[in-house]
Amino acid sequence: MNTFNVYPIYDINPVKALNSTLWDENGTKYTDLYGGHAVISIGHSHPEYVKAISDQVANLGFYSNSVRIPLQQQLAEKLGELSGLPDYQLFLANSGAEANENALKLASFHNGRKKIIAFKKGFHGRSSAAVAVTDNPNIKAAINDDSHVIFLDYNDAEAVREAVDDETCAVIVEGIQGVGGIHVGSDEFMKAIRESCDQHGAVFIHDSVQCGYGRSGKFFTWEFSGVKPDIISMAKGMGNGFPVGGILISPKFEAKYGLLGTTFGGNHLACAAALSVLQVIEEEGLLDNARVVGEYAFDQLKKISGIKELRGRGLMIGIELDQPVKEIREKILFDDKIFTGVAGAHTIRLLPSLGVCKEEIDAFISALKKYLI
């Protein structure tokens, strides 16, 4: 049997990693400034994280949500503390798409509506409506039958005010559009979403799957605008490579048995990994590092000629060139041994570990400069 060939891949086989360094099977060393799509938050193979998972698997790898799992409560408390949302509730899933599916379902259960407002160039995952083909009316939300999604321009606060009405179930938005090209949501835009949702009883869902978990220098990017969403979806950096996702749910939503559910969500291993990530973020001051090293990267990048536009916040950085980036990115990977990502054809995307250092950013900038001359 072969794998189903859906991913274009580079012929590199990483076998070992530490912090922002990867080694392939030949011992060649690479600097990782992409973290496998923003997943590596505290650095590869962080010793505390490795120990937390190893200890957990040695004792108990998995049992289902039918027993007490104190690690879930510990994780919820730590998340509440670090995100400044101690009164929110945590539901755990396994990926970003699943987190968003649960967020949308919960919104629909809450107000019984179908109309969803989303944004052009937004990305929220690839799961299709599995529930639509599940024969159980208790777990079907209105949005599973005949969902009605309206796509508005990102950052168009006026369009939001016009589109949200008494039939709107939810507005779902990324704090910083990742796949769509690292576009930062303005404060005015986020405030317009909050006010419109409040006015019409719609649910504000903030997709923090890529921009969250400290990447911007704040725990979540909605903090910049000072408005609180009703539901916040998370994944990627949450487990530093262990698949874990979830939603933070405002106290205005009441839980009831059977409303949401999943076999693997919140399992012992996932919780041990996620808790360890939060402990390391706190102990090592990684939010500050993301802010400081991010500012440094932006300052240095601003000095380079040949960049059309720089976008982002903290360690979520988009470098738009006025030429396609494919060739330059491949030179940076194969000649300079630095992993980066892309968003569209013209933008290089950097999503390094929150512990990345200035020297690693310098190495990338020296490489980039060579190819922009």
The footprint of ligand PLP (CB under 6 A) covers 37, 95-97, 100, 123-125, 174, 178-179, 207, 209-210, 235
The radius of gyration of the chain's CA atoms, rounded to the nearest angstrom, is: 21
What's the min distance (Å) between Cβ of 158 and ligand PLP? 24
What's the min distance (Å) between Cβ of 34 and ligand PLP? 12
CA nearest 344: which of 199, 182, 232, 187?
182
DSSP state, residue 334: H
CA nearest 106: which of 256, 217, 213, 280?
256
Give the residues across from 323 on adjacent strands: none
For ligand PLP, the closer of residues 131 and 304 by Cβ is 131
What's the min distance (Å) between Cβ of 28 and ligand PLP? 27
> CA 183: distance to chain centroid?
14
What's the min distance (Å) between Cβ of 106 and ligand PLP? 16
Q: For residue 170, give the 3-state DSSP assignment.
A: strand
What's the min distance (Å) between Cβ of 236 and ligand PLP? 6
For ligand PLP, the closer of residues 207 and 368 by Cβ is 207
For ligand PLP, the closer of residues 153 and 167 by Cβ is 153
Burial group, residue 176, by CB count within 10 angstroms (0-12, 13-18, 19+): buried
Q: Answer for the pair 328, 371: CB distance below 8 angstroms, yes or no.
A: yes
**Which residue is at the shortest CB distance from ligand PLP?**
96
Provide the b/e sequence for 188-220 (b: ≥16 CB within 10 Å): ebbebbbbbbeeeebbbbbbbbbbbbbbbbbbb
Rounded to an integer, what distance in angstroms lies between the CA atom of residue 312 and that of residue 341? Answer: 14
For ligand PLP, the closer of residues 117 and 367 by Cβ is 117
For ligand PLP, the closer of residues 101 and 360 by Cβ is 101
Rounded to an integer, what distance in angstroms lies between the CA atom of residue 367 and that of residue 337? Answer: 10
What's the min distance (Å) between Cβ of 70 and ligand PLP? 26
What's the min distance (Å) between Cβ of 332 and ligand PLP? 21
Q: Answer for the pair 108, 141: CB distance below 8 angstroms, yes or no.
A: yes
DSSP state, residue 251: T
For ligand PLP, the closer of residues 180 and 355 by Cβ is 180
For ligand PLP, the closer of residues 35 and 294 by Cβ is 35
